[in-house]
Structure 1
């Protein structure tokens, strides 16, 4: 038996789900087992979501991470990656349609730069170490 659970509450996802499909503007950005999504997110949107989760061990007054920009107009989507206008790692190549790529068994990501982004992962979210 399977249950399709749709939510924006990542805490509930962590507790209830085995597999996670992160969607952005109606398309799958990343699909992987729940532990892989939380411990090793590959898509810049997934990374932004994970970094925006409030942490109990930080100062109460510290500002949460936010993903810059606005969701694209659903009636006139950009060509290529739908996240490109908000992505700190976007290049001209992102204007082409991203193809879901198998990173390893059970983990797919729709980002042509995910390997480069992972290599530069020491850079704080929202800053690109890939200039």
Structure 2
């Protein structure tokens, strides 16, 4: 199943692969990914989802967005594909593509600073 609708993912999938600019940035069991996303792009995606009932409680707000533009895929992107939009990016991120690393049992992410606890330690 390929979709941008995370609500559908939550209902029908057991595992989720998150891709950005053609690269896998995170993979985990669906519940674990929604509870503790490790990659900043995944965190941004989840933060931009509408919240059920927010208009009923008077807490209507604009949806969060991930700042910046998706990079052009016409040329190879050096470093992390999300670095130009990541609030935690450093020179390391812009120069060296992070490898997919195990962050929890069955949970991998490609981020130099994603910790095993789910926080970003940049």
Distance 1:20 1:110 in 2: 14
Structure 2: tracts of 5 or more residues without a match: none
Question: For 1:18-66, what per-residue CA distance to the aligned partner results, in whole angstroms no more than 9, with x for missing partners?
Answer: 0000000000010000001100000000000001010023246411110
| Residue range with higher mean Cα deviation, 17-26 or 58-67 | 58-67
Question: For 1:68-126, what per-residue CA distance to the aligned partner results, in whole angstroms no more than 9, with x for missing partners?
Answer: 00110011242010000000000001020110010122100000110299446xxxxxx
Query: 3-state DSSP class of the match of 2:102?
Result: strand
Distance 1:33 1:20 in 2: 6
Q: Is the 8 A contact 1:89 1:117 kept in 2?
A: no
Distance 2:76 2:111 in 1: 17
The reply on whether 1:33 has 2:32 as its aligned counterpart is no
Q: CA 1:90–1:8 in structure 2 vs 1: closer, same or farther (change >3 Å)?
A: same
What TM-score results when the alignment is normalised by the length of structure 1?
Answer: 0.83
Distance 2:3 2:119 in 1: 30
Distance 1:44 1:25 in 2: 14
Structure 1: tracts of 5 or more residues without a match: 121-128
Give the RMSD, CA atoms, in angstroms.
1.9
Deviating 4+ runs (over 6 angstroms): none
The reply on whether 1:53 has 2:53 as its aligned counterpart is no
Q: Is the 8 A contact 2:38 2:119 kept in 1?
A: no
Match of 1:64 in 2: 63
Q: Figure out how many residues of one structure are paired with residues of the other and give that number.
A: 118
Match of 2:10 in 1: 14
Distance 1:41 1:18 in 2: 15
What TM-score results when the alignment is normalised by the length of structure 2?
Answer: 0.89
